[in-house]
């Protein structure tokens, strides 16, 4: 399980980690898809780490498939998130500064399903999301996605 340490600089003791997340709006454009993580029971956008040998688009599309059973296509980059003040520390002591790319995606095919990484899923409005326990790094990404800026956000 990961712990998010706010305001702490990672220094040279940690490593960099490249991740991605996907923002999929429902047909009305007023709700986005979130998943509830199995490891900490918190809610987030589908996503995860980029693996060696894949592009960031491929990683994003793969993560959505693995976590939700949906086939999606990346349509645009919504935001780049790289705060050195957001440190992730795992139970094994590994510490990372996460560089994350949040993408808008469109649904191609599939049916929502649970995976070994997800306890639940659903489409939620901003008001509904305010009542959920969202993992820390995703709060800003979700807020930015609903704001729908014309240009990519860099934070």
From first to last of the 155 residues of the chain, give the pLDDT tens digit: 555 555 555 455 678 889 999 999 999 999 999 999 998 999 999 999 999 999 999 999 999 999 999 999 999 999 999 987 777 777 888 888 889 999 999 999 999 999 999 999 999 999 999 999 999 889 999 999 999 888 999 98
Structural domain range at position 48: 2-106+118-154
- CATH code, domain with 39: 3.90.79.10
pTM for the full model? 0.88
Could you tell me if residue 113 is inside a domain? no
The answer to whether 33 and 116 have CB atoms below 8 angstroms apart is no
- The backbone torsions φ and ψ at residue 68, rounded to the nearest 5 degrees and listed phi first, read -130, -15
Could you tell me if residue 112 is inside a domain? no
Number of domains into which the chain is organized? 1
In sign, the C-alpha dihedral spanning 35, 118, 114, 74 is: positive
Token representation of residue 153: 């956000």
């Amino acid at each position: 399980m990961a712990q998010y340490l706010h305001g702490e600089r990672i220094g040279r003791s940690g490593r960099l980690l490249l991740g991605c997340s996907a923002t999929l709006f429902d047909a009305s454009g007023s709700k986005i898809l979130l998943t509830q993580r199995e490891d900490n029971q918190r809610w987030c956008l589908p996503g995860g780490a980029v693996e060696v040998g894949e592009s960031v688009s491929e990683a994003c599309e793969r993560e959505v498939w693995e976590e939700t059973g949906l086939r999606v296509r990346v349509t645009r980059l919504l935001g780049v998130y790289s705060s050195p003040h957001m440190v992730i520390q795992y139970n094994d002591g590994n510490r990372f500064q996460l560089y994350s790319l949040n993408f808008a995606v469109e649904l191609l095919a599939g049916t929502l399903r649970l995976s070994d990484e997800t306890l639940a899923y659903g489409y939620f409005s901003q008001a509904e999301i305010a009542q959920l326990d969202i993992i820390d790094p995703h709060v800003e990404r979700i807020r930015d996605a609903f704001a729908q800026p014309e240009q990519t956000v860099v934070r």
